[in-house]
A = this chain, B = another copy of it.
Amino acid sequence: MNLSELAQHLDLAISTVSRVLSGNAKKYRISETTARRILAAAEEHNVIPDPLGASLRKGSLGMIGLLVPDITNPFFSHLARSIELELRNANIAVQLCDSSEEVETEARLFQKLLARRLDGLIIAPVGNDTLGLSALIEKAQMPIVVIDRVIPGLQIPSVSLDNAHAGRLAAEHLIKAGHRKIGCLRGSYESQSDQERLKGVEEAMTDAGLKADDLFVAGKGSSRTASLDGARELLDREHRPTAIVTLSGQGILAVLERATALGLSIPGELSVIAFDEQPWSPFMNPPLTTISQPVAEMAGEAVKFLKTALAEKSEVPRADSPANPPQRVLKASICERHSVTAPPGDAVTG
């Protein structure tokens, strides 16, 4: 039963019913009596205004899109949960899209989300701009906030991690423990986060007087097999690195798997540091030293940015260009456990 039927049933105008049911009774001076009558009848016949009609009229869907590379990755599932929770209170629904860490899929999904005319978008881009995602974002007439990455030269609100700092954090910890040959396992080759983290590692090594030869990099994808190939590339060689940083996702599992297969003891023969911190990190074998991102805070900031963007959109646009879009960069921290020690045959202690 819809509003007009209910109105007819009560012998009232549909407009009156609408005003009461949307809680604007007094604003439009509907009498107590009528309001009650409508409310009661609505309750009885289980009538709730169809949001579709309302959306059409109001020009707002009450829903935003969330595009992540992999909802299975705990970082993103935590992000998703926090975001959904926060937006729920503002009565905004969340449409979920998972790009499987593929840039083409990401681009396709982005288009689909745009076509759906949602109120806004929170997007955690997979990686670089091979497919011109940033151009798409720029053209889109829709509040968008980018999370986990900042797109250079793009005037879009973003919340991200200082990835270079995070990489540096890991590398400095290893260097301090005495390591000279450090390996890095990338996730997706296109991941910009990984590239920046790698840069941080390089800087720390340079600062410590190490050379480019001392840095080993591998990894061409985030799938299990791709990670395993990368781990093999790093470990199945004569002069292997004495420590490895897995730059994202579940790379750490691949390293552990390969090390186990080779009979390498961790941290005795190989030290490891993993992105990101997880609930089970303390219970791995050995307990993992990890780099931890402030997930909840990132989600909170993203939602805040989105809300202000939504508000600005619904206002009359004062000037053509709004104030500089807010960009927030957060810092990671290190969780020291037992997967890092001095390299074999080294007497140096942290």
Asked if A53 contacts B51 (CB within 8 A), the reply is no
Asked if B72 contacts A97 (CB within 8 A), the reply is no
Asked if B98 contacts A95 (CB within 8 A), the reply is no
Contact A284 to B282, CB < 8 A, known contacts A80-B71, A116-B51? no
**In the assembly, what is the distance between CA of A52 and CA of B279, in Å?**
41
Interface string of A68-92 (1 = CB under 8 A from B): 0011101001101100110010000
**In the assembly, what is the distance between CA of A112 and CA of B250, in Å?**
35
On chain A, the number of residues with a Cβ less than 8 Å from chain B's Cβ atoms is 48
Instruction: Determine whether A122 belongs to the interface, using a CB cutoff of 8 Å to chain B.
Output: no
A283 touches which of B48, B97, B253 (Cβ 8 Å): B253
Looking at A11-19, A55-63, A233-241, A314-322, the stretch in contact with chain B turns out to be A55-63
A93 touches which of B84, B95, B284 (Cβ 8 Å): B95
**Which residues 35-54 of A have a CB within 8 angstroms of B?**
48, 50-53
Instruction: Determine whether A300 belongs to the interface, using a CB cutoff of 8 Å to chain B.
Output: no
Interface string of A87-107 (1 = CB under 8 A from B): 010000111111010000000
Which residues of chain B have C-beta atoms less than 8 A from A256's C-beta? 283
Q: How far is the CB of A110 from chain B (nearest CB, A)?
A: 13
Which residues of chain B have C-beta atoms less than 8 A from A94's C-beta? 95-96
Instruction: Determine whether A265 belongs to the interface, using a CB cutoff of 8 Å to chain B.
Output: no
**In the assembly, what is the distance between CA of A72 and CA of B84, in Å?**
12
Which residues of chain B have C-beta atoms less than 8 A from A88's C-beta? 97, 109
Which residues of chain B have C-beta atoms less than 8 A from A115's C-beta? 48, 51
Contact A72 to B61, CB < 8 A, known contacts A95-B94, A250-B279? no
Which residues of chain B have C-beta atoms less than 8 A from A285's C-beta? 283-287
Instruction: Determine whether A28 belongs to the interface, using a CB cutoff of 8 Å to chain B.
Output: no
Q: Which residue of B lies closest to A108 (CB)?
A: B88
Instruction: Determine whether A328 belongs to the interface, using a CB cutoff of 8 Å to chain B.
Output: no
**In the assembly, what is the distance between CA of A284 and CA of B280, in Å?**
8
Instruction: Determine whether A117 belongs to the interface, using a CB cutoff of 8 Å to chain B.
Output: yes
Instruction: Determine whether A257 belongs to the interface, using a CB cutoff of 8 Å to chain B.
Output: yes
Which residues of chain B have C-beta atoms less than 8 A from A71's C-beta? 71, 77, 80-81, 84
Q: Please name 28 pairs of A and B residues whose Cβ atoms are closer than 8 Å in the assembled complex, sorted by A.
A: A48-B115, A50-B117, A51-B115, A52-B56, A52-B61, A52-B117, A66-B96, A71-B77, A72-B74, A72-B78, A72-B81, A74-B77, A77-B77, A80-B96, A84-B96, A85-B98, A85-B100, A95-B95, A95-B96, A96-B96, A224-B279, A256-B283, A257-B283, A280-B280, A283-B284, A283-B285, A284-B285, A285-B286
Given contacts A71-B81, A74-B77, A260-B283, 13 further A-B contacts (CB under 8 A): A51-B117, A52-B55, A71-B80, A88-B97, A93-B97, A93-B116, A94-B95, A95-B95, A250-B279, A257-B283, A280-B284, A283-B285, A285-B285
